[in-house]
Structure 1
Amino acid sequence: MTQKRILMTGATGFIGSHLLLRAAGSHAVHALVRGRAGESPRDRLAEALHKAACSYRPVADTTGLLDRVEAIEGDLDVPLLGMSDATREALAGIDEIWHVGASLQPFDDEHCASQVNVAGTRHLLELARELGVRRFVMVSTAYVAGTMDGRVPEALHHAASFNNDYERSKAQAEHLAEQFCAQHGIALDILRPSVVVGPRSSKTTGGSRTGLYGLMRELQRIAKAARRAGQDVLVLPGREGRINFVPVDDMLDDFLAIAGEPATPGCRVHHLVNSRDFPVAVLMDMLAGRLGLSAIRLQEGTQSERLRFYEGYTRNDKLFERARAPHAEMSDADMLNYVEAGLRELKYGGLDELFRMHRLQRPGGGELVAYECGDAGKPAVLLANAYGMPVDVWFPLAVALRRTHRVLTWDCRGLPDMSGDAQQFDAMDVGTDTYVDDVFTVARAFGVEQAALAGWSTGALVAAKAAARAPGFVTSLALLHGSFMLKGSELSKFQKNMKLLMPKVASSRGTARMMFNMVFSQEQRSFMFSWADQMLKRKVEQMMGQTDPAYQHLIAMPTRGVEEVYRYARMVTRFVDDAPEKWLGRIAAPTLLVTAHGDSTAHPDGTCRAAALIPGAQLEVARDGDHFTFYNRQDLRERVVSFLREPAAAMPLAASWQ
């Protein structure tokens, strides 16, 4: 891609920060940033980039990125953005303007929306003319069609009415830009995303607080009040139409592809939308289930001032035309995971709000990404995650622990920590002792001489082995749904299939590619599988289908691509080779083991047998629950926190356990 000089607005916003994260390495970007008392434009950019980076898994590396961006203080509300003559002179000759800044607040009044979205666009166009810009790229919205239904072409509209002032102001800005650019010979690309959600790869909010997430926040508030009043059914304004959601990474794939094409005289309009319009009724059912309600119903004529902005989108029966190739369809499972992750962030905050991130150096070379929350003066607790799992799974427990502990966790080397190329990974020892080494690398980096230790799934074995290696280091130990495949213990279908399939997949990247294409690729395949391939496919689907669909975003990384499939297979193959029965008896720390009868990922028999081998261990077995009980059960989290803080005084769980 040819490097361009670009003036960009909206870089501290949701879409703009994600765009800057991807574009800064390829272009010379001058980012317009509104001034704020006590905070420099550069600091605001750094904060926005960090938030955007933290929404990807693994967290995107922003090292050196800010040095490639010039932060320019300016304000869309004033002519020529309030820039000095010297600043405008320095910008003369830039190639393009990318106009991403806008007012998206649902309760802004008409004047505010018009001031930012219309007057701000006019001021930017006037600056474009003065600077001699050849191309103007502006982000609008697919919903400038207003209240019209049916097919929506990729063309300027002349809607008679709109659902809200935001739509009206964006439509006015489009017409203003088209007329101005035609008059002054500036190529114009109008990009119309639908309702933008967080990254497809992680299902996090991406830092957005509007659109789907604004609706969720309002529904959460209303649902809480309804439950207090003894109601479990919400009746809200609107009707059951369809909404188009587009992940921000899909949207930016389109944005950068369009920006990479030669500028075309005149005005081009592009719909940046998903290939599926999602049924509002299905979305409301998902939200009801996660908000503790039996139903959310939509009814014409119902009044709700707080939901007035969103009502128009529930009525939508638009079909957005799109000339570009379609993105992967937004499935029910995708949306369920966006809902789950969005509500989790509403409750606990995003990664950047909960954790402080650190990039450490391993003694043998290579980087280790660690996360810290809580007061550094409190006792430390280290959390060993399952292989290939994102830090998100620890959010509920970390929030509970940080009141009494300094919480430290880290990305598992190889996956999700994919730093280093394929050759470096192939040379890496991925035996369990390597992952135990990382426990102590983190402890040394933070000056921790003793700590409580907890681990989940495969991470439970890593935590247990660390406690066996250094008895004096671990003050208390919690092993949550450990994947203990001891000699003679019963195995779940998941564990049996792991033992059977992972060594084959780990044999080569070619085999991993076959597995990925056969089971995990979203491409449509036209050839028939052989009988053996069908059997293999069925076993893999059995193996990956043991989890609540709402948690798929938490376990998706090992199947995201060929390299991820290969790395996970190598790591698991070496994990299975371990023989915990040889060293579990050396654990001296007070130990709590937790499992559930309904855990179809790690068979509870392994945990029960491990408990019998660890001197003085306590065992909790949930009658119900699954592999994520520590994630979704507050009573278990309280038990774990109590035990890690004061093992001798910790009380057993209620009789519903055992």
Structure 2
Amino acid sequence: MAEDRILVTGADGFIGSHLTETLVRQGAKVRAFCLYNSFGTRGHLDRLDPEVQAKIEFFTGDIRDSGSARAAVQGCDTVLHLAALIAIPYSYAAPESYVDTNVKGTLNLLSAAKELGVKKFVHTSTSEVYGTAQYVPIDEKHPLNAQSPYAATKVGADQMAIAFQRSFGLAVAVIRPFNTFGPRQSARAVLPTIITQIASGKNEIRLGNLKATRDFCYVKDTVAGFIAVMRSEQAVGEVTNIGSDFEVSIGDAADIIAELMGRKISIRVDEERLRPDASEVERLWAATDKAKALTDWRPQYAGREGFQRGLTETIAWFKDPRNLAGYDPSRYQV
């Protein structure tokens, strides 16, 4: 990796910042594509140790602009594409913005990578493209069933990436992480929502669907999955799931968190937090056999025990007053 320059799009986000930090600590030359804003902030990258930040080449722009995408890709050997709009509730309100970012933005980067001779393009998918599981664990042959505008745009982006590999020979690999969690995650995700409400002293926790199950993958395992897929020649032209080999309901996850935090809680279902019935994905659980066959990746936070270890690390981060201050548990984050 030390010889190649790696572009990470969405580097300023939750998973992107962890991936960028890990790559830099492993000696990679990283260009971090951050969404331009008038405040001059670089998202979670501003939280990294100064010595790590000093080794990052920062690029600010917008993947929706083809010129910006091309300028970011110029001079890079590998593209790890994570930039996307991901909040499902907001995709109900602003679906066009999801098409512009997730589909057109991906097309812009793929076109630039093709034109500029990028060696490897790793495209980020999501378990949401599967919809509610028709069988479990969900392998990569499972039918795609978009149940939200967000999921629909990710299906489109995935297929565009695969089409560039098949049509133009661009070395594309698609990584499909299941529900990643960990430090720095937005409170629009359910686990930080639970943790921040408890950490702020609330005994009654407001949540949405308690029966839905998820495969929660700790961010360190997700990052390791990205690097493994990037390094694997066998992953080119393939879709690869990344998960924890464990399924848990939202209600049970809340109980586990409360126990780890030494608190007794009650849960109130908040109608505002419920998806429309036909849009709710009721069950997700990843089959990871393909990832294990194509790469050297194995989940280090697997099963219930691994989930609890990941939660313990996550809770410790959120309980730090400097970190908790960035969250408002009294407000539903869309």
Q: Tell me the TM-score normalised to structure 1 length.
A: 0.42
Give the one of 229, 245, 248 matched to 1:275. 245
What corresponds to 1:126 in structure 2?
Answer: 111
Structure 1 position 339, deviation (Å): 7.2
SS of alignment partner, residue 320 of structure 1: coil
Matching of residue 216 in structure 1 with residue 194 in structure 2: yes
Q: Structure 1 stretches (4+) deviating beyond 6 angstroms?
A: 217-221, 288-293, 351-354
Q: CA RMSD in A?
A: 3.7
Partners in 2 of 1:130 and 1:184 — Cα distance?
10
CA contact (8 A) 2:8 2:33 kept: yes
Unaligned runs of 5+ in 2: 293-297, 328-334
CA contact (8 A) 1:149 1:317 kept: no
Q: Deviations over 1:558-598 (max 9, x none)?
A: xxxxxxxxxxxxxxxxxxxxxxxxxxxxxxxxxxxxxxxxx
Cα 1:320–1:68 shift into 2, 3 Å: same
What corresponds to 2:45 in structure 1?
Answer: 49
Partners in 2 of 1:251 and 1:292 — Cα distance?
29
Matching of residue 33 in structure 1 with residue 18 in structure 2: no
SS of alignment partner, residue 270 of structure 1: strand
Partners in 1 of 2:325 and 2:265 — Cα distance?
33
Partners in 1 of 2:89 and 2:247 — Cα distance?
25
Partners in 2 of 1:336 and 1:128 — Cα distance?
37
What corresponds to 2:87 in structure 1?
Answer: 105
Q: Deviations over 1:387-429 (max 9, x none)?
A: xxxxxxxxxxxxxxxxxxxxxxxxxxxxxxxxxxxxxxxxxxx
What corresponds to 1:261 in structure 2?
Answer: 232
1:136 counterpart letter in structure 2: F
Partners in 2 of 1:309 and 1:20 — Cα distance?
35
Partners in 2 of 1:245 and 1:273 — Cα distance?
7
CA contact (8 A) 2:244 2:303 kept: yes
Matching of residue 312 in structure 1 with residue 280 in structure 2: yes
Cα 1:333–1:178 shift into 2, 3 Å: closer
1:379-528 counterparts in 2 under 5 A? none
Partners in 2 of 1:322 and 1:297 — Cα distance?
37
Cα 1:322–1:349 shift into 2, 3 Å: farther
Structure 1 position 349, deviation (Å): 3.9
Q: Deviations over 1:241-297 (max 9, x none)?
A: 4321111112112221222233765x1112121121124332232456769765337
CA contact (8 A) 1:7 1:96 kept: yes
Matching of residue 141 in structure 1 with residue 142 in structure 2: no
Q: Deviations over 1:24-55 (max 9, x none)?
A: 3522222222222142xxxx44x63342x4xx
Matching of residue 7 in structure 1 with residue 16 in structure 2: no
Structure 1 position 307, deviation (Å): 3.7
Larger relative contact order, structure 1 or 2 (CA cutoff 8 Å, min sep 6): 2
Matching of residue 329 in structure 1 with residue 303 in structure 2: yes
CA contact (8 A) 1:233 1:297 kept: yes
Partners in 2 of 1:31 and 1:336 — Cα distance?
27
SS of alignment partner, residue 150 of structure 1: coil
Partners in 2 of 1:171 and 1:352 — Cα distance?
36
Give the one of 181, 185, 188 matched to 2:172. 188
What corresponds to 1:206 in structure 2?
Answer: 184
What corresponds to 1:91 in structure 2?
Answer: 74
1:27 counterpart letter in structure 2: A
What corresponds to 2:255 in structure 1?
Answer: 285
CA contact (8 A) 1:32 1:72 kept: yes
Matching of residue 350 in structure 1 with residue 323 in structure 2: yes
Unaligned runs of 5+ in 1: 54-60, 199-204, 355-658
Q: Deviations over 1:181-232 (max 9, x none)?
A: 211111111111111112xxxxxx23544423454379679x96xx7xxxx6
1:91 counterpart letter in structure 2: Q
Partners in 2 of 1:129 and 1:16 — Cα distance?
23
What corresponds to 2:220 in structure 1?
Answer: 249
What corresponds to 1:428 in structure 2?
Answer: none
What corresponds to 2:18 in structure 1?
Answer: 18
Cα 1:192–1:82 shift into 2, 3 Å: closer
2:103 counterpart letter in structure 1: V
Partners in 1 of 2:24 and 2:265 — Cα distance?
46
CA contact (8 A) 1:80 1:124 kept: no
2:35 counterpart letter in structure 1: R
Structure 1 position 237, deviation (Å): 5.1
CA contact (8 A) 2:209 2:274 kept: no
Partners in 2 of 1:233 and 1:219 — Cα distance?
6
CA contact (8 A) 1:104 1:210 kept: no
Q: Tell me the TM-score normalised to structure 2 length.
A: 0.77
What corresponds to 2:332 in structure 1?
Answer: none
Matching of residue 165 in structure 1 with residue 167 in structure 2: no
SS of alignment partner, residue 316 of structure 1: coil
Structure 1 position 136, deviation (Å): 1.0
CA contact (8 A) 1:107 1:309 kept: no
Structure 1 position 169, deviation (Å): 1.8
Partners in 2 of 1:309 and 1:337 — Cα distance?
32
Partners in 2 of 1:263 and 1:335 — Cα distance?
29
SS of alignment partner, residue 153 of structure 1: coil
In our comparison, the structure showing a higher alpha carbon Rg is 1
Q: Deviations over 1:519-570 (max 9, x none)?
A: xxxxxxxxxxxxxxxxxxxxxxxxxxxxxxxxxxxxxxxxxxxxxxxxxxxx
1:144 counterpart letter in structure 2: V
Partners in 2 of 1:309 and 1:233 — Cα distance?
21
Structure 1 position 158, deviation (Å): 4.3
Partners in 2 of 1:106 and 1:161 — Cα distance?
11
Partners in 1 of 2:225 and 2:16 — Cα distance?
14
CA contact (8 A) 1:233 1:293 kept: no
Structure 1 position 5, deviation (Å): 2.0
CA contact (8 A) 2:197 2:205 kept: no
Structure 1 position 75, deviation (Å): 0.9
What corresponds to 1:592 in structure 2?
Answer: none
1:565-584 counterparts in 2 under 5 A? none
SS of alignment partner, residue 155 of structure 2: helix
Structure 1 position 82, deviation (Å): 6.1
Partners in 2 of 1:293 and 1:180 — Cα distance?
52
CA contact (8 A) 1:187 1:263 kept: no
Cα 1:48–1:240 shift into 2, 3 Å: closer
Cα 1:239–1:13 shift into 2, 3 Å: closer
CA contact (8 A) 2:194 2:254 kept: no
CA contact (8 A) 2:245 2:288 kept: no
Cα 1:279–1:339 shift into 2, 3 Å: farther
Equivalent pairs, count: 311
